[in-house]
Structure 1
Amino acid sequence: MPLLLQPAPVQPAGPLRLPHVSGSRAVLAALEAECAEVSAAPESKRNIPQQRAFKMGRFVAWGDIPRHVVEEAFQATREARGLTAAECRATIRSALAASIRKARPWDAA
């Protein structure tokens, strides 16, 4: 009897596992939600990652979460979608930098 090749089963993406940091639970929940939006965005919406990273920049500016944690979370999310590290690193860093520069003080937000 001939052996038929079948495609490998699609592995569902598990929940994003973020490192433990000193940020508040609300900020970590926001980061998880933003990364979930990036992960679910269709390829036709290529600006979604920049928008989501930009939204997280204010929390970095306010000292609620370290910048490297946000960068690493978005980087992992984009790489899981098949992009190379180089393809997304500059975009994420640029969006965060712009957001940090433009962030209003916490009490004015």
Structure 2
Amino acid sequence: MLDDAPVAPLPHWLTELLVEPSRPAAAAPAPLLIPEAVTRRARAALERETAAVAATGEGGRNNRLLAGARALGRFVAWGEIPRHVVEEAFQAGGEAAGLPAAECRATIRSALDWSIRTCRPRDDAA
């Protein structure tokens, strides 16, 4: 049966439950501070991979962080870039993407350890 009575306003507490809260935009990572001794190709790879991590949205962030850190592990193994530089850059990129700091550290450490352990010698990789 239809009623011509006006519709009652939605209670405020119910409106809050139905509306998804807005999330602040992820902050851009700080500019990378890469030492001069780093090779050009390691520098370019680090900048490209960390930017890709920072730009990745929810649902793929950790996988992108893992892939990026694995890609840089060979440069660490070859002595083209210090490990701590890679770790700091990916930490900043992962946190800028919205990942928790502890999750970033664990993923980066695991990815670099694997990549360094399984890396082919530089002469074989060219």
Q: Under TM normalisation by the shorter chain, which class is it?
A: 0.7 to 0.9
User: CA, structure 1 residues 12+21, in 2 after alignment: closer, same or farther (shift >3 Å)?
Assistant: same
**SS of the residue 2:47 aligns to:** helix
Q: Distance in 1 between matches of 2:58 and 2:123?
A: 36
Q: Distance in 2 between matches of 1:75 and 1:103?
A: 22
Gaps of 5+ in 1: 1-9
Q: 1:64 aligns with which of 47, 72, 80?
A: 80
Q: Which residue of 1 aligns with 2:53?
A: 38
94-103 vs 23-32, greater mean Cα deviation: 23-32
Per the normalisation by structure 2, the TM-score is: 0.71
Per the normalisation by structure 1, the TM-score is: 0.82
Q: Report the RMSD for the aligned CA atoms in angstroms.
A: 2.3
**Counterpart check, 1:13 vs 2:36:** no
User: CA, structure 1 residues 12+84, in 2 after alignment: closer, same or farther (shift >3 Å)?
Assistant: closer
Q: Which residue of 2 aligns with 1:7?
A: none
Q: Percent identity?
A: 56
Q: Select the structure of larger CA radius of gyration.
A: 2
Q: Which residue of 1 aligns with 2:7?
A: none
**How far 1:71 moved relative to its partner?**
0.4
Q: Which residue of 2 aligns with 1:3?
A: none
Q: How many pairs does the alignment contain?
A: 102
